[in-house]
Amino acid sequence: MTPLRKAACIGGGVIGAGWVARLLLNSIDVTVSDPDSEAERKVGEVLANAERALERLTKAPKPAAGRLGFAARIGDAVADAELIVESVPERPELKRAVYAEIEAAAAPEAIIASSTSGILPSELQAGLQHPQRLLVAHPFNPVYLLPLVELVAGRQTAPETVERARAIYRDLGMHPLVIRKEIEAFVADRLLEAVWRECLWLVKDGIATTAEIDDAIRFGFGLRWAQMGIFETYRVAGGEAGMKHFIAQFGPCLKWPWTKLTDVPELTEALVETIAAQSDAQSGQHSIRELERIRDDNLVAILQALKDQDWGAGKTLADYERRLHAAAGRGAAEVDTSRPLRLYEATVRSDWTDYNGHMNESRYLEVFSEATDAAMRFVGCDQAYVAAGGSYFTAETHICHLGEARLQEPLYVESQTLSADGKTWRLFHRLYSARSEELLATGEHMLLHVDLETRRVASAREPVAGRLAALAAAQAGLPQPEQAGAAIGKRG
């Protein structure tokens, strides 16, 4: 299947903006249509959160971001899109009106993916000219970090639509779960509704506060659920006798009063007030943006821990990183090596700036270190090469600061090989602002090739030796940078 190149996001609220971020950061061009006059700002804020989270989540080579556009008319947004993501409010008549506008302008084979949390796809596709191209792709907030997307076909959805969607979401680093039969709220929200209903009863009956209920989740079974779900966890809980023993032991409880509360407590003004006041007491000291960052950092930490175990959502992350590495390797073959290589881009994040309002000096080293990693991968010093026992260590670094990199400044690095032999590699980076093209800093690094077993300098092996020699030869004619070889206190 050909990779996705262009998408439209209809609705750029909490979920729509999350989709925008996941798509853009995977190199897909996205046009957004949303009548909210604040949509551009809101999408920009979610995108900034997503960039920050992705930067922390993975050191794998990130593809260049796609282009972001906004269109006042839905028709203009969807005209050349291959995937149309609908994330407008949860009202069937509104969603159907949006589909009519989409179908008037979109290619008939473009997929329409609804983010609905619970409306049946058969209901949504009724009345469409091309109902076979609609399915539900139900994501979870934050869409740019959580891998699960439930794919639900309606009665008229073509099997090819589901297969294409499955491939698209897998390429986006997600875990597409194809739901076997459509049912309101699908699988995950059906589970969440059941838990949510019990939570409302517990608050209403004065048994626990919102904070205490959250503690009951996050200090215990919430940790289990992030890695094994419920059935595997209960299998373990059944001991050596396993699942049958577990059911024999706890099955009768299902008939005890534990789970009698299947009806929904009425959301009276008093109950809503109680929940809101308890929630304020629990979390009111943090702004929503702060809570988002805390949530994202915790999710990143969990995903990375699971990646180390090659398990669950961490396995999805590891697979995604393998694809990013492979794509970076394929891209390397098409690059003109006679010029400095542009292999690394970044944006100055809020936690990179210091009290002077510009990028802290330690971050320059971080950026140059990422650029060095990208250059190493370019010559074939990738995960597989390192796993086989070879790598480069930095023996010396000289950074020259020439301009200010301010918050949100888009940056890119150009890397020039000044010299290389079998064991050494003199690499020179120039850091530019992508906005003004101003040269902000340079970094000169002496790298030594090391045998990771003996921890001693050793000659590079193939394919690195050959590729680096070819790169050094291709760049030998480039002018020597004026900052190269400079001593401290001297410019040039």
Ligand X SMILES: NC(=O)c1ccc[n+]([C@@H]2O[C@H](COP(=O)([O-])OP(=O)(O)OC[C@H]3O[C@@H](n4cnc5c(N)ncnc54)[C@H](O)[C@@H]3O)[C@@H](O)[C@H]2O)c1
Applying CB under 6 A, among 34, 345, 414, 444 the residue interacting with ligand X is 34
Contact predicate 142/148, CB 8 Å: no
Rounded CA separation 430/340 (Å): 9
Distance of closest approach, residue 117 Cβ to ligand X, in angstroms: 3
According to DSSP, the β-strands at 111-114 and 83-86 are: parallel
CB atoms within 10 A of CB 457: 14
In terms of Cα–Cα distance, which of 94, 88, 128 is closest to 111? 128
Looking at 333-419, list the stretches that DSSP marks H as alpha helix, in order from N- to C-terminal side.
Answer: 361-378, 383-387
Applying CB under 6 A, among 6, 16, 29, 375 the residue interacting with ligand X is 16
Applying CB under 6 A, among 2, 37, 41, 89 the residue interacting with ligand X is 89
Rounded CA separation 226/224 (Å): 6
Distance of closest approach, residue 335 Cβ to ligand X, in angstroms: 39
Residue list 90-119, contact with ligand X (CB under 6 A): 90, 98, 115-117
88 binding ligand X? (CB under 6 A): yes
Which residues, other chains included, contact 251 with Cβ-Cβ below 8 Å and sequence gap of 6+?
Answer: none
139 binding ligand X? (CB under 6 A): yes
Distance of closest approach, residue 384 Cβ to ligand X, in angstroms: 38
36 binding ligand X? (CB under 6 A): yes
CA angle 260, 261, 264 (to 5 degrees): 155
Site size toward ligand X (CB under 6 A) is 23
Distance of closest approach, residue 9 Cβ to ligand X, in angstroms: 9
**Cβ-based nearer residue to ligand X, 35 or 222:** 35
15 binding ligand X? (CB under 6 A): yes
**Cβ-based nearer residue to ligand X, 98 or 110:** 98
**Cβ-based nearer residue to ligand X, 187 or 434:** 187
Q: Identify whether 463 is preceded by a cis peptide bond (ω within 30 of 0).
A: yes
Residue written as tokens 């949530």?
295
316 binding ligand X? (CB under 6 A): no
33 binding ligand X? (CB under 6 A): yes
Distance of closest approach, residue 148 Cβ to ligand X, in angstroms: 10
Applying CB under 6 A, among 14, 177, 434, 478 the residue interacting with ligand X is 14
Output DSSP code: residue 413.
Answer: E
Distances (CA, A) of 234 to 145, 226, 242, 257, 316: 27, 14, 8, 21, 23
Rounded CA separation 383/385 (Å): 6
13 binding ligand X? (CB under 6 A): yes
Distance of closest approach, residue 121 Cβ to ligand X, in angstroms: 12
Rounded CA separation 96/119 (Å): 12
Stretch that binds ligand X, among 13-21, 199-207, 208-216, 370-378 (CB under 6 A): 13-21
Stretch that binds ligand X, among 33-41, 194-202, 288-296, 372-380 (CB under 6 A): 33-41
Which residues, other chains included, contact 385 with Cβ-Cβ below 8 Å and sequence gap of 6+?
Answer: 391, 461, 463, 464
Alpha carbon distance, N-terminus to C-terminus of the chain? 51
CA angle 99, 100, 106 (to 5 degrees): 75
Stretch that binds ligand X, among 136-144, 203-211, 234-242, 251-259 (CB under 6 A): 136-144
Output DSSP code: residue 345.
Answer: E
Contact predicate 412/344, CB 8 Å: yes
Distance of closest approach, residue 77 Cβ to ligand X, in angstroms: 9
482 binding ligand X? (CB under 6 A): no
Distances (CA, A) of 248 to 49, 237, 238: 47, 12, 9
**Cβ-based nearer residue to ligand X, 23 or 431:** 23
**Cβ-based nearer residue to ligand X, 16 or 390:** 16
| Rg, the chain, Cα only | 26
Distance of closest approach, residue 351 Cβ to ligand X, in angstroms: 26
125 binding ligand X? (CB under 6 A): no
**Cβ-based nearer residue to ligand X, 283 or 424:** 283
The DSSP bridge partners found for residue 432 are 412, 439
**Cβ-based nearer residue to ligand X, 194 or 305:** 194
141 binding ligand X? (CB under 6 A): yes
Give Dmax over CA atoms of the chain in angstroms: 82
Distance of closest approach, residue 372 Cβ to ligand X, in angstroms: 39
Which tokens is 86 given?
A: 């609908």
- Of all residues in the shown chain, the one whose CB is closest to ligand X is 13
Stretch that binds ligand X, among 21-29, 83-91, 250-258, 426-434 (CB under 6 A): 83-91
User: Which residues in this chain contact ligand X in the complex, by CB under 6 A?
Assistant: 10-16, 33-36, 39, 87-90, 98, 115-117, 138-139, 141
